[in-house]
Structure 1
């Protein structure tokens, strides 16, 4: 489970991360990752610059049990990466239908691959 300060929950935050100014995305067979890094001109209402992650797992991925399994695996793969993300980073990880059959290691590799293309720096 991700700590509350690292969760992206508001609809407006999801929209800003997907379509807002400075938003970028990169995809793979399993995932599409949207990222937005806050700059000095953007103010944070929360007063906290911790990286945040939001997940989107639609019904196209599978039934409720399958979607929950995919979300749980993605959360487990995202948690150790949070420390290497720049402050003020918001991520939205969208699972493609093929993620239903992927292992945790495959999801983690896809997530790290997408982050390497989106963010400057080392993502382990």
Structure 2
């Protein structure tokens, strides 16, 4: 379970990450990242990174969708420390994600985050 401060809940936050952020696609998921650098906001302590998940009905019924979301949430929770402070991350599951092993999803998530974070840093 992600802590309350690390969860995306508002539609506007999802839209910001998906429309204004960068994205990296993989065979079973797409990761959207909006880094937390905003020159117009002067905060002393930046907020923690926040993550949200999109698992559509194309994945399967409610039981299957929730299982995929739990697996993704577990994988993202382990990687929150590597994300920049104030960043917004949306992980969108694609059809076929329900039948892939967690290790494969972890590799795809790592590859997507590496691509996105490499572009932010460099």
* Global fold match (TM > 0.5): yes
The equivalent of 1:17 in structure 2 is 17
Distance apart, 1:44 and its partner CA? 8.4
Aligned residues: 118
Summarize the alignment of residues 27-42 of structure 1 with structure 2, pairs less than 5 Å apart.
27-42=25-40
The equivalent of 1:4 in structure 2 is 4
Instruction: Give 5+ residue unaligned stretches, structure 2.
Output: none
TM-score (norm 1): 0.88
The equivalent of 1:71 in structure 2 is 69
Instruction: Give 5+ residue unaligned stretches, structure 1.
Output: none
Rounded to whole Å, the distance in 1 between the matches of 2:57 and 2:37 is 34
CA gap of 1:44–1:101, structure 2 versus 1, over 3 A, is: farther
Rounded to whole Å, the distance in 1 between the matches of 2:111 and 2:60 is 24
Query: 2:53 matched to 1:58?
Result: no
